[in-house]
Structure 1
């Protein structure tokens, strides 16, 4: 039966000639350039082949094979040193052209970048789809949302700067307070939202006057290739520099140099803990981190089953569950567990499995064989310890395509109880006393978000009060999610460090500095002269429209 299901899944992979022409890559993308110090540097050393999550079949009936879509450089320490040195030189201890540039001019550079970026939409979207297996619709949404996020961040910076464009007088002292850059930022994004989540740190870091060393994620590297020239053209030399190298080889070295002022990482807490220790003066290192999450949904006995099933299905399986905000544990009151599972699995069965370009596709291939291997391992562990797969076909896979599995009852001691599965597995845990559900959240290492489903105001209110002290967002009768981007995006415990949102991110990548003088006539004349004659980018009362 397992072999039959695997064979059925394999049929979802196309023959090469059956891929619609409009969705094919025009040619493999062999990345051979890096941007360092404002120059495109060619690479002739070793490269890593990029295999798509998408597999193709051959007419002879052999095993589907991942499609080779390009390659990128495998650089080393010398190249990472060069990228870091370029960023350090461009910052120049805060004296460089970029950190001393007027905010309005930095905004002008970013707007020029966005215009150039928008011209590359089709190519970047196609590479997101082929590199990480995200549906075409969601790949387009990721690109468009990133452009919108950048534009919203620009507007937020205008408001932030305009609010500082005045002098404050207190106790005989005249002061002007503005936000200033922190220095050199090492920026690393995740594979699941390689463009959007990377830019959620990269854009505010640049706008605030920092210089950047950017290391693309392992999965989702090629999609930045069309943007390199836009970076080069829009920003002064050395403001943004790219490095293509194994993180384990170069990132500890970059931090150990002591020249990195900010670590911006979307990844795992274990990696973040290790990296922060590499810096010789850890108290100087600002960290903006988006890390692990194991968001739970607490389903109360009076929950609207139809609404709850709809939101939990989206929350657990959008982009195959490969989101930090995904619902990764469903905690359902035992009195409604059977009814909930029946409806949930019924709706799951309607999800369309297929290739990313197919209209209405709900489940697409995973990044590589290692991910289907992990899903299988976690399932085997749960079944060995008393759980079962409750949906038909759950857990079957062919190469990178994995049929979602609903696992019940999940309990302490199973991998799925605490580990973040980051894939199409849906663990369901029954409870009798709501204290059991609360204790699960309280005892967790993670503290990003939680969802509550129910209709009794008293019950929900009683849950909200303790939960807001455990997680940073409580969602009532809806799935966990990041947006809207104007809302804070943060986490407690091992889930995050620092807060990201359109405005919070600008603050995260900057620090308040001030200029002060005694409230005397000579000081007033001096400050007025500096402002009138535009002698300082910092001391000014200009208004950005």
Structure 2
């Protein structure tokens, strides 16, 4: 079995020992192994800072954007290999692999286009100069300059392609070198993408590194100019935030953690198109990537009078979902990423069932091309008729194809129930009254990174509750981690330091090629 190498300090280096095996979640086949044991992480970080960072900062924003374009071309040329790896290592059907792989390439392309518009600028201006003396003889200009550290990414297992490039695109565009530590279970795809880009010789040595295997020792290397972006559990996030190096050096940290995202149907007539759109989106979010999306709908709220109708419509959609081996063309939903994840999902379902009942149990349907020993789990819709009295349905995220439907008695109660998620990445609203939807979106916006509003007018146009678009903010307050990613060129903020330059106008005018962000 092949042991995947790590790329650090401009070299491919194998970790020590046999490593940890990565498996096909459907067949159980051992595919490749990864190990980071024995790596000289201090040298890896130093090389990235001193070589990769310096080379990137020597380029203009437009020149770095051109590098992103070339990276995207390399990834596009190797798409077929990435799809094969995703099928074997993540157990995803082709449409789900596309969310990760093509989503990554699209995001990279967007940042290449946005970066090209920054042209030859080597400095970003934040606002106009502000006078500090009479006749503007002395003024203050806020500027943004790239941090001279490393961007360390510790990523989750569910998006090995997109999880890398949605972070790396704005980092590299900013002029900051990247070290990525992908989740072990699906590290193969991340490692292969990095290998293809390195082989193409597009980026300066040290600009892009990958460490596969254990994350032990990575945080110890962080210094004050480094930044850290983590996607994963809230428990791990708490450990990261309290790490001695992070605390001592005030390392800038971005966290994307657990999220009990909601879908809320405002009062509408039974049989309305808004109800159908709501049901279709809840079912879709339960099944895309087998529910393994940080933005997936976990809680769905409807007026009490529409509870039964909504349950029937969602169940009808779920019954169309064929679950099993993604290699079978009839299959529409593949496996969870591993047997360990399957165990977590089953344990989480048991917790939810302490307060909710089964409205649709897809596990009664036979799997196609897979057996009970695989990591395949069919979608399950739960129902909790007294959500005000419940607790677990509002604080337990099951990271799989499951959601809980709940009725509400009035809109104020519905909004209070949504807010019990304590901070989420996304909330979607459905209805046909624009004024009521706008008011509800405003009421809930403070506790969500993104509010997705769907009316019949955008039935075929909206991008989907769970789809993270690079044009919009990705992140959320509270339980969701308090972080921010993407949002167009706003993403560059994380990789820059804002400073106030106070000087005479002629000094400010001599700052060199600069542009407003």
TM-score, normalised on structure 1? 0.80
Partner of residue 31, structure 2 = 69
* Residue in 1 that maps onto 2:380: 405
Equivalent position SS for 2:209: strand
Q: Decide which moves more: 134-143 or 201-210.
A: 134-143
Bigger CA drift: 508-517 or 46-55?
508-517
* Displacement of 1:360: 5.6
1:300 correspondence with 2:272:
no
1:316 paired with 2:279, answer no
Match of residue 459 from structure 2: none
Secondary structure of the residue aligned to 1:220 is helix
1:46 aligns with 2:14: no
Given that residues 294 and 418 in structure 1 are in contact (C-alpha distance below 8 angstroms), is that contact kept between their aligned partners in structure 2? Answer: yes
Are residue 388 (structure 1) and residue 362 (structure 2) matched? no
C-alpha change, 1:210 and 1:308, in structure 2 (3 Å) is: same
Is the CA contact (8 Å cut-off) linking 2:142 and 2:498 kept in structure 1? yes
Distance 1:367 1:281 in 2: 30
Shifted more, 319-328 versus 301-310: the winner is 301-310
Structure-2 change in CA distance of 1:375 and 1:355 (3 Å): same
Alignment of 1:489 onto 2:466: no
Change (3 A) 1:175 1:131: same
Indicate the SS of the match to 2:175: coil
Cα deviation, 1:360-402, whole Å, max 9, x if unaligned, reads 633211112222222322333344x353212254478823111
Distance 1:53 1:414, change over 3 A: farther
Q: Residue by residue, what CA displacement relative to the aligned partner does 1:176-222 show, whole Å, maximum 9, x if unpaired?
A: 87542112111122221111122111121122111222111222211
Higher radius of gyration, 1 or 2: 1
Equivalents in 2 of 1:281, 1:193: separation in Å? 25
Task: Name the counterpart of 1:34.
Answer: 6
Change (3 A) 1:494 1:100: farther
Match of 1:102 among 49, 52, 60: 60
User: Is the Cα–Cα contact under 8 Å of residues 164 and 190 in structure 2 kept in the other structure?
Assistant: no
Q: How far 1:117 moved relative to its partner?
A: 2.6
Cα distance in 1 for residues equivalent to 2:155 and 2:239: 17
CA distance in 2, matches of 1:88, 1:309: 49
CA contact (8 A) 1:378 1:416 kept: no
Q: Which residue is 2:236 aligned to?
A: 271
Structure 1 residue 100 displacement after superposition: 3.2
Quick check: 2:302–2:408 contact (8 Å CA) kept in 1? yes
Relative distance call for 1:86 and 1:245 in structure 2 (3 A) is farther
Alignment-derived partner of residue 212 in structure 1 = 178
Are 2:104 and 2:161, in contact at CA under 8 Å, matched by a contact in 1? yes
Q: 1:236 aligns with which of 194, 204, 211?
A: 204
How far apart, CA to CA, are the structure 2 residues paired with 1:38 and 1:31?
19
Offset at 1:128?
1.8
Query: Residue 99 of structure 1: CA displacement?
Result: 2.4
Measure the CA separation in 2 of the matches of 1:213 and 1:422: 27
Counterpart among 501, 504, 508 of residue 518 in structure 1: 504
- Aligned partner of 1:222 in structure 2 is 188
8 Å contact 1:489–1:501 — kept in the other structure?
Answer: yes
Unpaired segments ≥5 residues, structure 2: 366-370, 455-461
CA distance in structure 2 between the aligned counterparts of 1:197 and 1:281, rounded to whole angstroms: 22
Q: Please, what TM-score do these two structures have when normalized by structure 2?
A: 0.84
Q: Contact 1:212–1:241 at 8 Å: present in 2 too?
A: yes
Query: 1:83, 1:243 within 8 Å by CA — same for their partners in 2?
Result: no
Let me know the Cα RMSD of the aligned residues: 3.1
Q: Any idea what the Cα deviations from partners look like across 1:127-170, whole Å, max 9, x if unmatched?
A: 12221122123323432232221121022123245678899776
| Cross-structure match for 2:137 | 172
